[in-house]
Chains A and B, each alone.
Chain A
Amino acid sequence: MKNKEELKSFIAGLLPFATLIEGKQYLEVLVPADKWHEAAQKLKDNNKIPFDYLVSLAAVDFVTKFSVVCHLESTDTHDFIVVRVDIEDHEKPQIETVSDVWVTAEYHEREAFDLFGIRFKHHPDLRRLFLEEGYGFPLRKDFKDEINIIELSN
């Protein structure tokens, strides 16, 4: 396990276009959307700390934008980082797929597409995962369930 400073300087050298934030738990790496695939490839295929295990890929709706957040672990060194990509276009969210880098991303991305409507470009099999076609995207903040209306006041 490398210390935080070493990991930070390594990621900074590997991804010069990324913004690094020292998180409370883990190092957070903010990658611009157009460099996402390149960054993913570099994170996985480097020789020093290969982040070969994609723990989780989650989408978040921030009302004005979407974020895709990946939690990555290196099975060699057990370093753990959080990689975040912001998708500014809230109307038609699109981003490059990373399912060719980590195959497990294929299903996490399908889930994100199903629940958030984020399109992953060049995804091999982008279909709804849980819900039927035309249901809408329930985990978006502006989703209104017309059939089972249970309004809970905050």
Chain B
Amino acid sequence: MSEEVTKNIIVRDDEDYIINMGPQHPSTHGVLRLEVCLNGETVKYVIPHIGYIHRAIEKMSESDTYKQIIHLTDRMDYLSAHMNNEAVCLAVENALEIEVPKRVQYIRVVLDELTRLASHHLWWSAFGMDLGALTAFFYGMRDREKILAIFEESFGSRLLHSFNTPGGLMHDVHPDFQKHTMEFVRYFRKKLPEYKQLLTDNVIFHNRTQGIGKMSRETAIAFGVTGPSGRGSGFACDVRKVAPYGLYKEIDFNEILYDEGDSFARYLVRMDEMEESLNILEQVTDNIPEGDYTAKMKSIVKLPEGEYFQRVETARGELGIYIVSDGKKFPYRIKFRSPNFSNLFVLNTLAKGGLIADLVAISGSLDLVIPDIDR
């Protein structure tokens, strides 16, 4: 294992030519400032500066009950809101050893995969737009709207659902939930080839992404890069496989792995994951059993004294929730190991020595959501 790939090397010099990219740059999709040192058009190093949207969610959580914390987790990675909610719920359920009804487990998986699809849709549109393919943006947004309509019908909100509560769901889903989900699956199966034509087989797109931002498996592990970005480098880090939770033990699906480690590999992982999500939806949606939408819970949840760690696969990687409880209704300390926090800092290693235009392709392929970094 060479030093080069597992170290974050920055050599500063007084004569460095520094350009600030952000905090209001369109390609960062949020308030992130990159201090980029340039030599002509070549990047010497990149230093990310974060904290522009730091809301101290961890501090706020220390004076909130577990049911209230769920609403804060929405605001971290707002595109994986459902998975973030689920992580808190699972932590509480495992700590209290609550048996969750089968119906809830099925619905949670459907929502997980729909959220993952919606998130990958948005990434696909924005990634295309970052590289100059504006059509992708309209196509992706059009199809994502259909998922958000399903969410809106059942929960009343499109992005931040807060639909999970410890023990189950807030209320039952809409009677047409299954029908509309399957309609979407059939619709999107027909649209995927269009996506393939538009970007995956596009020569200009190949030139912008293939061989750009190469990340080896060692680099991914050393920096803790998880999710599709890590799997594009052959790092088998899918929590749904490594530490299965909920219904994922019983579902038949593949973990998508590519070994190339460039931006195009990370792109392909997400494209294949969309297909995999459709497979999971086909397996699960029609088999949602009848039953209760929540287990019996006390109105105030108190965790027994101790420490808990819950891992969940969001659309961007591994979310870990570490709870220290002193037996009260508020957690003593809660730490969110957010996937984007770890994914961001590999940027310097990937972008170094490349062109500044490629920096946009690389940060786009890492699929960063800034509020998740700052928390």
A residues contacting B by CB (< 8 A) are: 23-26, 28, 52-56, 58, 60-61, 69, 71, 73, 75, 78, 80, 82, 102-104, 106-107, 111, 115, 124-125, 129-131, 138-139, 152, 154
Q: Which of B8, B243, B330, B335 contacts A154 (CB 8 A)?
A: B330
Cβ contact within 8 Å between A107 and B308: no
* Selected A-B contacts with CB under 8 Å, 28 pairs: A25-B94, A25-B308, A26-B309, A53-B224, A55-B311, A55-B318, A55-B320, A60-B324, A60-B332, A60-B333, A73-B242, A78-B242, A102-B222, A102-B224, A103-B7, A103-B8, A103-B222, A103-B223, A104-B342, A107-B341, A107-B342, A111-B341, A125-B10, A129-B50, A138-B59, A139-B58, A139-B333, A154-B63
Contact A139 to B59, CB < 8 A, known contacts A55-B320, A58-B335:
yes
Contact A24 to B322, CB < 8 A, known contacts A53-B221, A104-B222:
no
Q: Which of B224, B236, B322, B374 contacts A69 (CB 8 A)?
A: B322
Q: Tell me which residues across on chain A come within 8 A of B322, comparing CB atoms.
A: 56, 58, 69, 71
Cβ contact within 8 Å between A129 and B345: no
CA distance A54 to B223 in the complex (A): 8
Q: Tell me which residues across on chain A come within 8 A of B94, comparing CB atoms.
A: 25
Q: Tell me which residues across on chain A come within 8 A of B307, comparing CB atoms.
A: 23, 28, 69, 82
In the complex, how many angstroms separate the beta carbon of A135 from the nearest chain B beta carbon? 11
CA distance A38 to B126 in the complex (A): 45
User: Could you tell me which residues of chain B, from 208 to 237, have a CB within 8 Å of some CB in chain A?
Assistant: 221-224, 235-237
Q: Tell me which residues across on chain B come within 8 A of A69, comparing CB atoms.
A: 307, 322
CA distance A82 to B342 in the complex (A): 19
Count of chain B residues with a beta carbon within 8 Å of a chain A beta carbon: 40
Cβ contact within 8 Å between A55 and B337: yes
What 5 pairs across the A-B complex have the smallest Cβ distances? A130-B51, A56-B337, A104-B224, A58-B335, A130-B54
Tell me which of A53, A54, A102, A139 has the highest count of chain B C-beta atoms within 10 A of its own C-beta: A53
Cβ contact within 8 Å between B222 and A56: no
CA distance A23 to B318 in the complex (A): 22
Contact A131 to B224, CB < 8 A, known contacts A69-B322, A103-B8, A139-B59:
no
Q: Tell me which residues across on chain B come within 8 A of A23, comparing CB atoms.
A: 307
CA distance A82 to B94 in the complex (A): 17
Chain A residue with the shortest CB-CB distance to B235 = A75
User: Could you tell me which residues of chain B, from 273 to 328, have a CB within 8 Å of some CB in chain A?
Assistant: 306-309, 311, 318, 320, 322, 324, 328
Cβ contact within 8 Å between B235 and A55: no
CA distance A72 to B330 in the complex (A): 26
Contact A54 to B224, CB < 8 A, known contacts A75-B235, A104-B342:
yes
Q: Tell me which residues across on chain B come within 8 A of A139, comparing CB atoms.
A: 56, 58-59, 333
Q: Tell me which residues across on chain A come within 8 A of B237, comparing CB atoms.
A: 53, 75
Chain B positions 39 through 56: 1 when the CB is less than 8 Å from some CB of chain A, otherwise 0: 000000000001100101
Q: Tell me which residues across on chain A come within 8 A of B374, comparing CB atoms.
A: 130
State whether the Cβ of B20 lies closer than 8 Å to any Cβ in chain A.
Answer: no
Cβ contact within 8 Å between A138 and B56: yes
CA distance A85 to B337 in the complex (A): 18
Q: Tell me which residues across on chain A come within 8 A of B154, comparing CB atoms.
A: none
State whether the Cβ of B6 lies closer than 8 Å to any Cβ in chain A.
Answer: yes
CA distance A69 to B307 in the complex (A): 11
Chain A residue with the shortest CB-CB distance to B306 = A24
CA distance A103 to B320 in the complex (A): 18
In the complex, how many angstroms separate the beta carbon of A71 from the nearest chain B beta carbon? 6
CA distance A125 to B11 in the complex (A): 12
Cβ contact within 8 Å between A154 and B328: yes
Q: Tell me which residues across on chain B come within 8 A of A25, comparing CB atoms.
A: 94, 308-309
Cβ contact within 8 Å between B221 and A131: no
Q: Tell me which residues across on chain A come within 8 A of B332, comparing CB atoms.
A: 60
In the complex, how many angstroms separate the beta carbon of B374 from the nearest chain A beta carbon? 6
Chain B residue with the shortest CB-CB distance to A100 = B7
Q: Tell me which residues across on chain A come within 8 A of B222, comparing CB atoms.
A: 52, 102-104
In the complex, how many angstroms separate the beta carbon of A121 from the nearest chain B beta carbon? 18
Contact A52 to B309, CB < 8 A, known contacts A104-B342, A130-B50:
no
CA distance A73 to B224 in the complex (A): 11
CA distance A106 to B172 in the complex (A): 44
Q: Tell me which residues across on chain B come within 8 A of A124, comparing CB atoms.
A: 8
10 further A-B contacts with Cβ under 8 Å, apart from A56-B335, A58-B335, A104-B342, are A53-B221, A55-B318, A56-B337, A80-B243, A103-B222, A106-B345, A107-B341, A124-B8, A125-B10, A138-B56
